[in-house]
C-alpha cells in the first residue's frame, strides 16, 4: 500500500509522490498538527481552503481524551479530513512530562484500530541537555521498540515511522540511523530537534540531519519532527527532509505572533501587514487588534498556515527550476544562524555532490563564498583533477581570464590568440585553459560542458573565493606536471592577484610563471613564438 516515487531533484531535495492507503501526497510536505480538542482551523478548512493534502495528530491524546470514538467512527470521519493522516505516538509527551500511561504495544494497536495512514512507534526521545549515557539509553530503548514492531503489528496497509535518536551526540545519531535503517520501516524521522531549532542551533541541526541521511537507506523519506517555522524549511529540504510537522502556527497565534518567511513578529511590533493572504487583505492591524481573543487567534492561525504552505510551494518551484541553492542562500541571509548553518555544509559537500543532479534546466548564480560548497563547484574540482588529461606532451599551461561573452573561444581576445592555438597544435606543447571564479581552471575544450559556460558570477570575487580559485589552479598545475605557466591578467584586477599568488607558488613548487599584461601582448607574434619555443 505504500510507495515513494521521486520525480524532481535538486541538491538532496526531492519532489516525490508518497502513496498511502488513503491517497497520494506530494513531498516535500508540511503537515499541520491538529488537536481535536481545540481547533482554530478545522481539518475540513485545511483541505478545502488551504489544499492541505496531509495532517498529523497525536494518537496518545486521541486515546486519552476520546477513547473508542475515533475507532468507532474511523479517523477520517472523526476529524472530518478525507486526506492522508499521520499519527504521532505520544513520545513528545514523554519528553515533556517524563512518562505516558500507555505501553509501546498498546499505542501500536490503537493506531492500527483508528486506521492511521502513517503511524509512529512509541520511541524514547533523547531531549536536550542530557548526558551521553542517558542519550545512549534512549537510542538503545528506541531501537529495541523498533525491532519489536514487526511482531506486534497486525496490518500491512500502514506506513510505519522509525525514529532516529541521539540528540546532539552525532555519533549516536549515526548509530541510531544505521541500525534503524536495517529494519523494514517505510519512513524515518529525526527525533529531538525541537529544542535545537528553538535555540536557532541550525549548524547542529545540519550535523543531525545529514548524519541521519548518510546512514539511512536513500529511498526512504525523512520526516523532521517539530519543524514548523518557514524560515528554515528551505535549508531542511535541501538537506533531504521530505516531511515536516508542527503546531507552531497555532501556538504562535495564541501568543499574538505573526509569522513571515524570514522571522516572527509580535502583533504589537507591526505597523503594516506584510502579506497578501486573505486575512491580511481583508483586515488591517486595527481590525486584528480590536477582535476578540478567540477571533484574533483564529485569524492569526490562518495567516500563519498561509505563510507555511506558501513557502513550501516556493521551495518546490525552486527545485523544479534547479535553483534551490540560490533560494536557500537568499533565505540564509535573513538570520546569522541560518547563514552559519549553510556554511556548515562545506564538510558534507562531497556527499551532497554525489546525490545531486549532474545537469539542470538553467545555469547557476554564484553570489559569494558559501557557494563554494554547492555541488557544481565541488564536482568540477573533483572531475577536472581526477578525470581530465591535458594534451599529451603539453608542458606549458596558458591561462586566459573569464570573459562575459560566451563561448569564450569566440571572444575577440581569445580570437587574437588563434596563433598560439595553431602553433600549440603543431608543437603539442601548449595547453590553453580559462580561469574564472568559482571553478578555477576550465580547459578550453570543456568550456561548453554544463555549468561552466552557464554560470553568472558577481565580480570581483571575494578573498575566500580568490584563494579557492588559486588553490584549484595550483592543484591542476602540479597534478599535471606543467613546467611553465603563462597567465593573462589586467593590472590591479582580481586576475592580477591570482597571478601574484601563482608566482609565489611557482617558486615553491618549481614551475615558472610568465605574465601577459595587455592586449598588445596577444598581438605580439614574437612573444607567441617565444612562448611556444621555450615550452
CATH label of the domain that carries residue 125: 3.20.20.105
Same domain, 238 and 385: no
Instruction: Give the Cβ contact number of residue 342 at 10 Å.
Output: 23
- The residue among 213, 246, 279 that closes a domain is 246
Residues 438/367, Cβ–Cβ less than 8 Å: no
Overall average pLDDT of the 424-430 stretch: 64
pLDDT for res 37: 85
Is pTM beyond 0.75? Reply is yes
Residue closest to 16 by CA, chosen among 28, 34, 2: 28
The answer to whether residues 232 and 371 belong to one domain is no
Query: What is the helix (H) or strand (E) element at residue 427, kind and residue range?
Result: helix 418-427
How far apart CA 249 and CA 226 sit, in angstroms, is 11
| In the block, residue with C-alpha cell 540528540 | 167
pLDDT, residue 535, reads 45
Considering the domain boundaries, does residue 291 fall inside one? Answer: no
Using the 3D structure, point to which of 227, 246, 265 is the last residue of a domain. Answer: 246
Tens-place pLDDT, residues 73-97: 999 999 999 999 999 998 777 766 6
Report residue 463 as a C-alpha cell: 578573498
Mean pLDDT, residues 125-147: 94
In the predicted model, is pLDDT for residue 414 greater than 70?
A: no
384 and 240 in one domain? no
Contact 259, 304 (CB under 8 A): yes
Q: Is 88 a catalytic residue?
A: yes
Mean pLDDT of the chain: 89
pLDDT category at 213 given cuts 50, 70, 90 is: very high
Regarding whether 142 and 10 lie in a shared domain, the answer is yes
CA 451 – CA 454 distance, rounded (Å): 5
CA distance 441 to 405: 17
Q: Which tops the pLDDT comparison, 487 or 18?
A: 18
Asked whether the beta carbons of 126 and 170 are under 8 A apart, the reply is: no
Residue 17's H or E segment, with its range, is: strand 13-20
Q: Is the peptide bond before 130 cis (omega within 30 degrees of 0)?
A: no
HSE-CB of 411 using CA atoms within 13 angstroms: 19
Residue in 10, 88, 207, 242 annotated catalytic: 88
Residue 322 included in any domain: no
Domain assignment of residue 292, yes or no:
no
How confident is the model over 144-181, as pLDDT tens digits?
999 999 999 999 999 999 999 999 999 999 999 999 99
Claim to verify: residue 69 and residue 213 sit in the same structural domain: yes
* Structural domain total, the chain: 2
Can you give the pLDDT at residue 395?
A: 83
- Kindly state whether residues 233 and 374 are assigned to the same domain: no
Contact 351, 206 (CB under 8 A): no
334 found inside a domain: no
Helix (H) or strand (E) holding 338: helix 336-343
Q: Within 10 Å of residue 530's Cβ, how many Cβ atoms?
A: 12
Q: Could you tell me if residue 110 is inside a domain? A: yes
Mean pLDDT confidence for 466-493: 90
d(CA 12, CA 272): 37
| Same-domain status, 372 and 520 | yes
- pLDDT digit string, tens, across residues 229-278: 899 999 999 999 999 998 999 999 999 999 999 899 999 999 999 999 99
Q: Quick one: average pLDDT of 198-215? A: 93
Longest CA span, the chain:
94
Residue 126 C-alpha cell reads as 533523547
Provide the 3-class DSSP secondary structure of residue 11.
coil
* Residue 389, C-beta contacts closer than 8 angstroms, at least 6 positions apart: 480
Cell of 460: 570581483
Residue 533: is its pLDDT beyond 70?
Answer: no
CA atoms within 13 A on the CB side of 510: 6
Round to whole Å and give the CA distance between 208 and 213.
9
> Per the domain annotation, does 30 fall within a domain?
yes
Q: Give the torsion sign (CA, 187, 190, 191, 195).
A: negative
pLDDT confidence tier of residue 417, bands split at 50, 70 and 90: low
Cβ atoms within 10 A of the Cβ of 106, count? 14
Which residues are paired to 6 by β-bridges?
Answer: 16
Residue 482 is assigned to a structural domain of this protein: yes
Are 234 and 374 in a shared domain?
no
Q: How far is CA 438 from CA 343, 350, 435, 498, in A?
A: 16, 16, 9, 13
Cell of 425: 597544435
**What is the rounded CA–CA span in Å between residue 151 and residue 28?**
31
- The CATH number linked to 372 is 3.40.50.10630
Q: How far apart are CA 532 and CA 395, in angstroms?
A: 10
Beta-carbon contacts of residue 325 (< 8 Å; ≥ 6 apart): 10, 11, 238, 364, 371, 374
Note the pLDDT of residue 425: 57
φ/ψ region of 428 (left if φ > 0, alpha if ψ in -120 to 50, else beta) reads left
Give a yes or no: residue 143 inside a domain.
Answer: yes
Distance CA(477)–CA(396), nearest Å, equals: 9
Residue 402 banded pLDDT, cuts 50, 70, 90:
confident
Helix/strand/coil (H/E/C) assignment for every residue in 370-410: HHHHCHHHHHHHHHHHHCCCCCCCCCEEEEEECCCCCCHHH
Last residue of a domain, one of 214, 246, 278: 246
Mean pLDDT of the 393-409 span:
72
When pLDDT is averaged across residues 35-48 and rounded to a whole number, the result is: 91
Phi, psi of 101 (to 5 degrees): -90, 65
Domain that holds residue 444: 366-534
Is the pLDDT reported for residue 429 higher than 70? yes
Confidence of residue 69 (pLDDT cuts 50, 70, 90): very high
Amino acid at each position: 500500500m505504500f510507495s515513494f516515487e521521486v520525480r524532481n531533484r535538486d541538491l538532496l531535495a526531492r519532489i516525490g509522490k508518497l502513496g498511502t492507503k488513503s491517497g497520494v501526497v506530494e513531498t516535500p510536505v508540511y503537515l499541520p498538527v491538529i488537536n481535536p480538542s481545540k481547533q482554530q482551523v478545522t481539518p475540513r478548512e485545511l483541505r478545502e481552503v488551504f489544499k492541505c493534502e496531509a495532517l498529523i495528530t497525536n494518537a496518545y491524546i486521541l486515546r486519552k481524551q476520546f477513547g473508542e470514538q475515533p475507532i468507532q467512527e474511523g479517523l477520517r470521519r472523526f476529524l472530518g479530513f478525507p486526506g492522508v493522516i499521520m499519527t504521532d505516538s505520544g513520545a513528545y509527551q514523554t519528553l515533556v512530562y517524563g512518562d505516558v500511561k500507555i505501553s509501546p504495544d498498546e499505542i501500536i494497536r490503537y493506531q492500527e484500530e483508528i486506521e492511521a495512514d502513517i503511524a509512529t512507534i512509541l520511541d524514547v526521545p533523547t531531549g536536550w541537555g542530557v548526558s551521553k549515557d542517558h542519550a545512549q539509553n534512549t537510542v538503545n530503548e528506541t531501537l529495541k521498540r523498533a525491532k519489536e514492531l514487526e511482531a506486534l503489528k497486525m496490518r500491512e496497509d500502514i506506513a510505519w515511522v522509525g525514529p532516529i535518536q541521539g540528540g546532539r551526540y552525532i555519533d549516536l545519531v549515526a548509530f541510531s540511523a544505521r541500525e534503524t535503517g536495517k529494519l523494514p520501516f517505510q519512513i524515518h524521522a529525526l527525533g529531538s530537534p525541537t529544542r535545537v531549532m528553538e535555540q536557532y542551533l541550525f549548524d547542529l541541526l545540519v550535523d543531525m540531519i545529514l548524519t541521519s541521511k548518510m546512514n539511512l537507506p536513500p529511498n526512504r523519506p525523512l520526516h523532521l519532527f517539530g519543524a514548523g517555522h518557514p524560515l528554515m524549511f528551505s535549508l531542511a529540504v535541501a538537506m533531504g527532509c521530505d516531511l515536516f510537522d508542527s503546531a507552531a502556527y497555532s501556538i504562535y497565534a495564541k501568543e499574538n505572533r505573526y509569522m513571515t518567511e524570514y522571522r516572527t513578529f509580535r502583533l504589537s511590533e507591526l505597523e503594516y501587514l506584510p502579506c497578501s493572504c486573505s486575512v491580511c487583505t481583508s483586515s488591517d492591524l486595527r481590525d486584528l487588534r480590536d477582535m476578540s481573543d478567540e477571533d484574533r487567534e483564529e485569524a492569526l492561525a490562518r495567516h500563519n498556515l498561509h505563510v507555511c504552505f506558501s513557502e513550501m510551494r516556493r521551495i518546490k518551484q525552486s527545485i523544479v527550476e534547479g535553483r534551490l541553492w540560490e533560494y536557500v542562500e537568499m533565505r540564509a541571509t535573513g538570520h546569522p544562524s541560518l547563514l552559519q548553518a549553510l556554511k556548515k555544509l562545506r564538510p558534507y559537500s562531497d556527499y551532497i555532490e554525489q546525490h545531486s543532479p549532474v545537469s539542470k534546466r538553467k545555469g547557476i548564480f554564484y553570489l559569494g563564498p558559501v557557494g563554494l560548497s554547492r555541488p557544481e563547484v565541488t564536482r568540477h574540482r573533483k572531475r577536472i583533477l581526477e578525470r581530465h588529461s591535458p594534451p599529451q606532451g603539453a608542458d606549458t599551461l596558458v591561462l586566459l581570464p573569464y570573459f562575459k561573452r560566451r563561448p569564450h573561444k569566440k571572444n575577440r581576445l581569445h580570437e587574437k590568440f588563434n596563433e598560439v592555438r595553431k602553433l600549440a597544435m603543431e608543437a603539442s606543447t601548449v595547453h590553453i585553459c580559462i580561469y574564472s571564479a568559482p571553478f578555477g581552471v576550465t580547459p578550453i575544450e570543456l568550456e561548453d560542458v554544463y555549468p561552466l559556460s552557464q554560470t553568472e558570477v558577481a565580480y570581483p570575487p571575494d578573498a575566500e573565493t580568490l584563494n579557492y580559485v588559486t588553490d584549484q589552479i595550483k592543484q591542476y598545475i602540479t597534478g599535471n606536471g606543467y613546467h611553465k605557466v603563462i597567465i593573462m591578467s589586467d593590472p590591479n584586477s582580481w586576475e592580477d592577484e591570482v597571478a601574484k599568488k601563482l608566482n609565489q607558488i611557482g617558486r615553491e613548487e618549481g614551475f615558472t610563471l610568465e605574465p601577459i599584461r595587455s592586449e598588445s601582448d596577444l598581438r605580439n607574434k614574437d612573444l607567441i613564438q617565444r612562448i611556444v619555443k621555450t615550452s
